[in-house]
């Protein structure tokens, strides 16, 4: 599943020189790492204070650098190839992974793709803040960053699926999973929130906390709810246990009882309504379309209805489980939700749930349907009925 491929990987080269340095040469590179950390404390105290929480060790066996949230490893040969500003960037970059809890919440996601997504977020932030210089081969794509709202989880969903080779580009380092079991990692994650808050306070006291970085830290300490997760949970709740008398339950036949068999939980028909009033851009539609495909593949609704609307219903499509989705905008006028619900009634569409992609900038909602409604909104956060989640 791909909605936005990374189009501006910065000279995606691989570091391949693994020849070990002598102990004396390693000591020189370690001093450069410590010097870069000191410079961060003075010039960019937020990242500098984060770096003070992580000890540095050299490791000849890794290509570039790695962190598990408790320590940072680096290849001295790789550090030797960097200028001073690039070393500063590398140190700050390694701090970004535990700061954003990348080491503790990967779950079942692809390690490489998760690392790529994390790198796009960290590198963009460091570049915007003017921290050092990104080493050659770093992943940087402002369009991808904006499409994912600067959220690692969202950017992960926009990247190509792993197919071997170099899809998506090479991460600058290795983002390792944190030590211990899930409970241990949850504890480490909580400890890192404290460290981030302390580092932010120190930077503010020095008057070196930009507005963008302050917003970023706010999202770390109070993360936004991912609308994709909300939509999945919303639809899962609409599943029903489909029972049928077509095949009697053999377990009870010997007792003279003719009971239905259960085919397991199924998701009935779902309606997705796409606001095409002009305030919804192609990037939002692409994200929404990608998640509708995921719903189709993961939850397998019996039928998907897609209604495109502005001030009226401009287009309608329906998809069976084996059909290919093709969600694209139709229309481009004002916004009115009432025609969507009227269209459902007029055409006998009775979904188990309705999901809208809209800016919610409208005061005409029509009659509340009998099924639950989820509003995935890009702007307003209030609706007279249903549940609202911000994209």
Structural domain ending residue among the three candidates 223, 257, 279: 223
Q: Are residues 322 and 236 in the same domain?
A: yes
Q: Are residues 262 and 370 in the same domain?
A: yes
pLDDT (mean) for 211-236:
82
Q: Are residues 184 and 251 in the same domain?
A: no
- 154-167 per-position pLDDT tens digit: 898 889 876 555 55
In this prediction, residue 12 carries a pLDDT of: 37
In this prediction, residue 57 carries a pLDDT of: 96
Work out the widest C-alpha separation in the chain, in whole angstroms.
Answer: 86
Give 381 or 303, the one with higher predicted confidence: 303
In this prediction, residue 354 carries a pLDDT of: 97
Give domain status of residue 342, yes or no.
yes
Give 35 or 151, the one with higher predicted confidence: 35
In this prediction, residue 373 carries a pLDDT of: 96
- pLDDT above 90 as % of the chain: 57
The answer to whether residue 207 scores a pLDDT higher than 70 is: yes
In this prediction, residue 162 carries a pLDDT of: 66
pLDDT (mean) for 257-278:
74
The answer to whether residue 8 scores a pLDDT higher than 90 is: no
pLDDT (mean) for 375-387:
90
Q: Are residues 284 and 174 in the same domain?
A: no
Q: Are residues 212 and 234 in the same domain?
A: no
Count the alpha carbons within 13 Å of 45 in the hemisphere toward its beta carbon. Answer: 16
The domain that contains 242 carries what CATH number?
Answer: 3.40.50
What is the number of structural domains in the chain? Answer: 2
The answer to whether residue 247 scores a pLDDT higher than 60 is: no
Give domain status of residue 17, yes or no.
no
Q: Are residues 242 and 212 in the same domain?
A: no
Structural domain ending residue among the three candidates 176, 205, 223: 223
Give domain status of residue 139, yes or no.
yes
Confidence of residue 248 (pLDDT cuts 50, 70, 90): low
CA angle 56, 62, 68 (to 5 degrees): 50
Domain region containing 185 = 23-223
- 108-151 per-position pLDDT tens digit: 789 999 999 999 999 999 999 999 999 998 999 999 999 888 88
Q: Are residues 298 and 349 in the same domain?
A: yes
Give 218 or 268, the one with higher predicted confidence: 268
Give domain status of residue 2, yes or no.
no
Give domain status of residue 14, yes or no.
no
Q: What value does the mean pLDDT of the chain take? A: 86
Q: Are residues 185 and 148 in the same domain?
A: yes
Give 223 or 86, the one with higher predicted confidence: 86
Q: Are residues 81 and 124 in the same domain?
A: yes
The answer to whether residue 262 scores a pLDDT higher than 70 is: no
Q: Are residues 259 and 295 in the same domain?
A: yes
Give 165 or 272, the one with higher predicted confidence: 272
- pLDDT above 70 as % of the chain: 86
Q: Are residues 262 and 287 in the same domain?
A: yes
pLDDT (mean) for 168-183:
86
Give domain status of residue 212, yes or no.
yes
- 178-203 per-position pLDDT tens digit: 998 877 888 888 899 999 999 999 99
Give domain status of residue 6, yes or no.
no
- 275-324 per-position pLDDT tens digit: 988 778 888 888 888 889 989 988 899 999 999 999 999 999 999 999 99
Structural domain ending residue among the three candidates 203, 223, 243: 223
Give domain status of residue 247, yes or no.
yes
Q: Are residues 339 and 197 in the same domain?
A: no
What pTM, to 2 d.p., does this model score?
0.59
């Amino acid at each position: 599943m791909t909605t936005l491929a990374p189009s501006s990987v910065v000279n995606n080269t691989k570091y391949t020189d693994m020849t070990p340095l002598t102990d004396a040469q390693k000591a020189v590179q370690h001093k450069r790492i410590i010097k870069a950390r000191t410079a961060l404390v003075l010039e960019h105290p937020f990242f500098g204070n984060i770096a003070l929480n992580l000890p540095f060790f050299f490791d000849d066996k890794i290509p570039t650098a790695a962190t598990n949230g408790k320590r940072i490893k680096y290849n001295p040969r790789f550090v030797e190839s960097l200028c001073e500003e690039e070393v500063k960037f590398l140190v700050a970059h390694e701090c970004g992974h535990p700061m954003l809890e990348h080491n503790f919440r990967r779950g079942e996601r692809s390690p490489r793709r998760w690392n790529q997504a994390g790198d796009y977020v960290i590198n963009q932030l460091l570049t915007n803040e003017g921290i050092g210089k990104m080493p050659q081969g770093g992943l940087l794509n402002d369009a991808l960053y904006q499409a994912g709202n600067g959220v690692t989880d969202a950017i992960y969903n926009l990247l190509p699926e792993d197919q071997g080779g170099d899809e998506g580009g090479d991460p600058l380092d290795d983002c390792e999973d944190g030590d211990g079991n899930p409970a241990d990692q949850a504890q480490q994650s909580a400890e890192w929130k404290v460290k981030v808050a302390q580092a932010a306070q120190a930077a503010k006291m020095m008057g070196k906390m930009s507005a963008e970085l302050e917003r970023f830290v706010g999202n770390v300490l109070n993360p936004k709810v991912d609308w994709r997760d909300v939509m999945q949970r919303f639809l899962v709740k609409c599943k029903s246990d489909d029972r049928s008398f077509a095949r009697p339950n053999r377990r009870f036949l010997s007792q003279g009882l003719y009971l239905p068999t259960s085919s397991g939980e199924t998701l009935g028909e779902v309606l997705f309504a796409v606001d095409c009033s002009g305030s919804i851009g192609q990037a939002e539609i692409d994200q929404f379309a990608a998640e509708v495909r995921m719903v189709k593949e993961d939850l397998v609704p019996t039928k998907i209805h897609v209604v495109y609307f502005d001030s009226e219903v401009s287009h309608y499509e329906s998809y069976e489980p084996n059909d290919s989705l093709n969600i694209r905008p139709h229309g481009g006028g004002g916004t009115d939700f009432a025609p969507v619900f009227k269209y459902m009634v007029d055409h006998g569409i009775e979904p188990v749930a309705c999901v809208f992609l809209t800016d919610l900038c409208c005061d005409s909602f029509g009659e509340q349907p009998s099924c639950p409604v989820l509003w995935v909104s890009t702007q307003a956060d209030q609706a007279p009925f249903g549940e609202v989640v911000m994209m």
